[in-house]
Structure 1
Amino acid sequence: MENRYAVHPRDVRHYGTEELRENYLVESLMVEGSLRLCYSHEDRMIMGGAVPTSEALKLEAGEMLKTGYFLERREIGIINVGAPGYVLVDGYKYTLDAKDCLYIGLGHQEVTFHSNDPAQPARFYLVSTLAHRSCPTRKVAIAEAAPTHLGSIEQSNERTIYKYIHADGIESCQLMLGMTLLEPNNMWNTMPAHLHDRRSELYFYFDMPQDGLVFHFMGEPAETRHLVVRNEQAVISPAWSIHSGVGTSSYTFIWAMGGENYTFVDMDSVPMADLK
């Protein structure tokens, strides 16, 4: 499990490209035959990627968590961004097609990831937050999720938001998770920008062409920076940072939040005039 420490915003003002990438960009989550995890000290969130091929991949606590099993003090949300597969949770099978979501609550001891066809593996993106109570394990297929249509072609941000894990969807202790799909010929997300100083966020970008890029904007509103992000890479967004982006083509991203408040609309808008 990779370890990423939290950083004060005044220190980030002096970072160059490599320091920004080392602290906030996670480049290699999806590796065939492997389960990779990254622990962020921003609200103790963990992100990961599991790409099972010929053998199942088991979710384990490892030395980093110092617990008997991964979900002893945690909950987790999973979205499949690849071919069909399934997750076994204490022996119970949950089948996930592309863009389906599974939430697993506190206390489940054995979680394994499987592909239906090892030659065309599932690609499970996962996010875990701390939890102090157990909520029911539940799957929601993308066809069952209620879409919210936002943006306009004039602003290049026509998009559909699917909220999976939130107060009016899959119940959780503190994890909130969803997915945003940009329509063809639309490239901007989360602009005008906002902050939510009471919780951190993770972004995972995918459905990008091989030579596609997203310029992810971060930093304090008056001290913005950017990260160049490629397909199936993720960004850690601390509570003090904006989180917006523009791509060379349309793309999809999964957002996940953990922290103080359990309200999707808990955000502080940043006027366009304040961005620098």
Structure 2
Amino acid sequence: MDIRYGANQADVKGYDTQKLREEFLIEKLFEADEVLSTYSHIDRIITMGVMPVSQVIALEKSINCRKNLGVEYFLERRELGIINIGGTGSVLVGDEAYKLEKMNGLYIGKESKNIRFSSEDPSNPAKFYMCSTPAHKKFETKLITLELANKVEMGAFETSNKRVIYQFIHPEVLETCQLSMGCTVLDTGCVWNSMPCHTHERRMEVYMYFNLTEENVVFHFMGEPQQTRNIVIQNEQAVISPSWSIHSGCGTSNYAFIWSMAGENRTFTDMDHIKASDLR
């Protein structure tokens, strides 16, 4: 497990490109038959990727729960959100199996044990992207298909940001402690996300960009509104965004990204909007 400590905005002003990437970029999420995880001390969110190929993979395969979390098992005091961006696979929660096709989501509540992952076709493995946050109460485990997600259409071709937001783990879909999670898909020819931009002092966020070819990247913008920086992101990489930072992106092609939020509340529209003319 990769451990990241919280960086404050005063220090970030002096970071060079390499330091920004070391603090905020998660470069690798998927490796065959492994669980890759990054623990951020910003709201204690854990970002993970599992790609089962030749075997069934246990969630705790490479996570020392006693050492890293101080618990006996991973979800003893946590909740977990999953979105599959690969081939069809299954998630086993105890004795219950949930089949996740591409772009299906799953919420797993606190106190769930014995979580395992498998792929239906090893030549087209599932890619389970996951985020976990601390939880104080147990809520029902639920499969969320793309059809069940709350769908919101936003933007326009004129501003290069026409997109569809699929809210998987969201108050209008199901109840959780603090985790929110969904996916934004940009239309062909559209490259901007979250612009005009915003911050939300009461919540942090993680963006995971995907559906990019090897030749294309996203320039992810972060930092205080008057002290902006950028991180160049490739396919299936994630970036940690503190509450004080903007989080916008512009790609060399259209793309999709999964957003995950943790913090004081789950109000999706709780944002502090910033005019583009005020950015520096």
TM category, shorter: over 0.9
- The separation in 1 between residues aligned to 2:193 and 2:106, in whole angstroms, is 24
Amino acid at match of 1:57: I
- The separation in 1 between residues aligned to 2:131 and 2:78, in whole angstroms, is 10
Counterpart of 1:274?
278
Per-residue CA distance 1:23-47 (angstroms, 9 max, x = gap): 0000011112211000001100000
Per-residue CA distance 1:58-92 (angstroms, 9 max, x = gap): 11251311210000000000000000000000120
- The separation in 2 between residues aligned to 1:116 and 1:91, in whole angstroms, is 18
| Secondary structure of 2:75 counterpart | helix
- Structure 1 position 133, deviation (Å): 0.3
- The separation in 2 between residues aligned to 1:13 and 1:146, in whole angstroms, is 37
Amino acid at match of 2:189: N
Number of residue pairs matched by the alignment: 276
Tell me if 1:18 matches 2:23.
no
Asked if 1 retains the 8 angstrom alpha-carbon contact of 2:183 and 2:259, the reply is yes
Per-residue CA distance 1:235-263 (angstroms, 9 max, x = gap): 00000000000000000000010001121
Per-residue CA distance 1:136-173 (angstroms, 9 max, x = gap): 00001112223211000000000000011111112111
1:37-48 superposed matches below 5 A:
37-48=37-48
Asked if 1 retains the 8 angstrom alpha-carbon contact of 2:47 and 2:132, the reply is yes
- The separation in 2 between residues aligned to 1:98 and 1:221, in whole angstroms, is 36
Counterpart of 2:99?
95
- The separation in 2 between residues aligned to 1:54 and 1:87, in whole angstroms, is 15
Structure 2 alignment gaps of length 5 or more: none
Counterpart of 2:261?
257
Report runs of 4+ in structure 1 exceeding 6 Å deviation.
none
Give the TM-score normalised by the residue count of structure 1.
0.99
- The separation in 2 between residues aligned to 1:167 and 1:122, in whole angstroms, is 27
Tell me which of 137, 142, 149 is aligned to 1:145: 149
Asked if 1 retains the 8 angstrom alpha-carbon contact of 2:160 and 2:192, the reply is yes
Tell me if 1:226 matches 2:253.
no
Amino acid at match of 1:248: T
- The separation in 1 between residues aligned to 2:233 and 2:12, in whole angstroms, is 18
Tell me which of 112, 122, 125 is aligned to 1:121: 125
Tell me which of 80, 92, 98 is aligned to 2:84: 80
